[in-house]
């Protein structure tokens, strides 16, 4: 007996496959490293969050990064834990392994599972430092891993220290700022609404120890951050 598959059958099968893939995507557990903006020489905490993993009681993951730019100086449990132990081990320079477990099989709730502290080198250049996740396992009480498990790497945005400015409106509705810097050096004035994406305004040379900036169209945006970045 032969079976004839019509185009309607094929379409129904494709729709079923698509629905299953969407369901898997929607229900996949995720382990995510956060992002942060930090200056050279500073210490910053980056969250590790876990979501979509009901029944999870423990986890393991590795974090890798460039040791010429940063070092991991500590790790603490987050708000999603319930009496869990958080441990870490240096496997190699720039390669840390973290272990989260519970002696009573306490559940890991969705949210921040851990906070990793990074110390940024004082001579770190401006730019982005990737924080790479790997070898991750999220486990249930019976020892079986939560699957599928998606991983999302983190990022540190490193910006020059000491050249941010607060701002205030004067009586004429203008925004006036002053930046201090090294006499005779050039600084790029930039603005941002999120401390990640920066818009170039102008490049100025320090004269008399300061750079002045006046913004007249201050009502065209809700909030802006400003910085003067030293031009190499």
Among 111, 136, 158, the domain boundary falls at: 158
Can you tell me the mean pLDDT for 54-64?
95
pLDDT of 133: 97
- CATH code for the domain of 181: 2.60.40
Clarify whether residues 132 and 171 are in a common domain. no
Q: 208 lies in a domain?
A: yes
Whether pTM exceeds 0.85: no
* Contacting residues for 158 by C-beta, under 8 A, at least 6 apart: 37, 38, 39, 40, 69, 120, 124, 125, 126, 127, 128, 129
Structural domain count, the chain:
2
103 sits in which H/E element: none
- 7 part of a folded domain: no
Q: What is the pLDDT of residues 136-192, one digit of tens each?
A: 999 999 989 999 999 999 999 887 644 555 455 555 666 777 776 667 778 888 888
5 within a domain of the structure (yes/no)? no
Q: What is the pLDDT of residues 178-216, one digit of tens each?
A: 776 667 778 888 888 777 788 888 888 878 777 777 776
* pLDDT of the residue at 182: 67
Which structural domain, as residue segments, surrounds residue 224? 164-230
208: exposed, middle or buried (C-beta count within 10 Å: 0-12, 13-18, 19+)?
exposed
Adjacency order of strands within the sheet including 168-169:
168-169, 175-180, 210-215
Residue 103 lies in a domain: yes
């Amino acid at each position: 007996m032969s079976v004839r598959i019509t185009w309607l059958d094929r379409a129904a099968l494709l729709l079923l496959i698509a629905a299953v893939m969407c369901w898997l995507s929607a229900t996949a557990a995720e382990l995510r490293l956060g992002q942060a903006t930090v200056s050279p020489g500073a210490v910053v905490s980056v969250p590790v969050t876990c979501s979509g993993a009901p029944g999870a009681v423990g986890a393991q993951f590795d974090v890798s990064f460039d040791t010429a730019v940063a070092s991991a100086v500590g790790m603490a449990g987050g708000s999603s834990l319930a009496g869990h132990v958080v441990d870490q081990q240096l496997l190699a320079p720039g390669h840390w392994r973290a272990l989260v477990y519970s002696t009573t099989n306490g559940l890991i709730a969705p949210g921040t599972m851990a906070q990793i502290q990074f110390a940024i080198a004082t001579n770190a250049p401006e730019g982005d430092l990737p924080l790479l996740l790997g070898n991750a396992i999220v486990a249930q009480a019976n020892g079986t891993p939560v699957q599928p498990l998606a991983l999302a790497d983190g990022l540190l945005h490193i910006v020059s220290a000491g050249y941010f400015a607060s701002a205030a409106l004067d009586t004429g509705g203008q925004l006036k700022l002053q930046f201090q810097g090294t006499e005779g050096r050039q600084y790029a004035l930039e603005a941002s609404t999120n401390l990640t994406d920066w818009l170039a305004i102008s490049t100025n040379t320090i004269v008399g120890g300061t750079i002045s900036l006046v913004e007249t169209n201050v009502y065209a945006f809700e909030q802006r951050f400003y910085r003067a970045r030293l031009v190499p």
